[in-house]
Amino acid sequence: MFRFIVRRLLQLVPTLFGLSILLFIWLHRLPGGPETALLGERGTPESRAQIRESLGLDEPLPIQYGRFVKRLVQLDLGTSISTKREVTTEFLQRFPGTVELTITAMIIAIGVGIPLGYLAARRRGSILDQASVGGSLLGTCIPIFFLAYVLKAIFAENLGWFPTIGRQDASINATHITNFFVLDGLLTREWDAAADAIWHLVLPGIALASIPLAIIVRITRASVLEVLGEDFVRTAEAKGLTERTVRRRHVLRNAMLPVATSIGLLTGLLLSGAVLTETVFAFSGIGAFIKDAISNLDYPVLMGFIMIIAVVFALVNLLVDVSYSLIDPRVRVR
């Protein structure tokens, strides 16, 4: 297993290498060149020259690329044009919120999606089945920012069940260590702070979960249906095993394989979706920050965003591969 993980990590290297080249080309193709990109339109001639020198823009391309990679590895992503702060610092402060939201959405999507997909498959043709198939088709067709607005209008503004905006009520005055507000609340034993942070996660979490949920329901259902028709499930039934054993050991364990793959692919979707959802709920993750960066063409921030997403995506896929190989012995042997 250890060797498997190492091998998968090594396979990341060419991917990251390719990505860094793309980023490098991208940076050079930006209107005005990298110095404009890193300084914005307002950069003085002196600061431009300084950047040109520090980036080594007058040197041959391979050396430039070497420096570029060195900076990436050192997490030196430059300074945000609009906030004038280190991009790395900005992300460290904001990204935890997005991670919390993404995890919440994933928990909702998996926690509801897998049981629902299983039940729908088991009771094929029932009302529950038809409702979940229809619901999941509809779920993929609703733009999530629209859903976010609808949820906010109904459950926050009209019914007042949930907070409308933000990550935590300002009046709570919580202590923040990691910037993961829920985690902070638990660490500092400020239970009300943690509860409030969770409360703020519910609506955006549901909105963000909608598409992954729909996809997981569909994949689980299809996969369970396929496994239910397999001979080994009949063997398990012929052994007189309890329904619970048949379900967990024989049906779900096999049915989870395609679901695990899809969960890996959903990460990109979730991160894009997080930006949209956060904007609607003024949830201070990277969402609004990125939206502003787009309209201001804040290149250092955008580049940092690209890097972070690529790395997160790669890591999540590694995690998926590992869990896949934990479930399926055939992958390990290969």
Q: Interface with another protein by CB under 8 A: which residues?
A: 14-15, 18-19, 26, 29-31, 37, 137-138, 140-146, 149, 153, 230-232, 234-243, 245, 249-250, 253-254, 257, 265, 268-269, 271-272, 275-276, 279, 290-291, 294-295, 297, 299, 302, 305-306, 309-310, 313-314, 317, 327-330, 333
Looking at the Cβ atoms of 32 and 166, the one nearer to another protein is 32
User: What are the φ/ψ torsions at residue 67 (nearest 5 degrees)?
Assistant: -65, -40
How many residues can be counted in the chain?
334
CB of 191 to another protein, least distance (A): 35
CB of 72 to another protein, least distance (A): 16
Looking at the Cβ atoms of 85 and 239, the one nearer to another protein is 239
Q: Which long-range contacts (CB under 8 A, 24 or more apart) does 22-30 make?
A: 23/68, 23/72, 23/303, 23/306, 23/307, 24/64, 24/65, 24/68, 26/303, 27/68, 27/299, 27/303, 30/299
Cα 128 to Cα 25: distance, rounded to the nearest angstrom: 51
CB of 290 to another protein, least distance (A): 7
CB of 187 to another protein, least distance (A): 31
Looking at the Cβ atoms of 110 and 246, the one nearer to another protein is 246
Looking at the Cβ atoms of 11 and 178, the one nearer to another protein is 11
186: left (phi over 0), alpha (psi -120 to 50) or beta: alpha
Looking at the Cβ atoms of 112 and 257, the one nearer to another protein is 257
User: Would you tell me how many other CB atoms lie within 10 Å of the CB of residue 171?
Assistant: 7
Looking at the Cβ atoms of 263 and 314, the one nearer to another protein is 314
- The candidate with the shortest Cα–Cα distance to 123, out of 239, 225, 4, is 225
Provide CB contacts within 8 A for 188, sequence distance 6+: 174, 175, 177
CB of 172 to another protein, least distance (A): 27
CB of 137 to another protein, least distance (A): 5
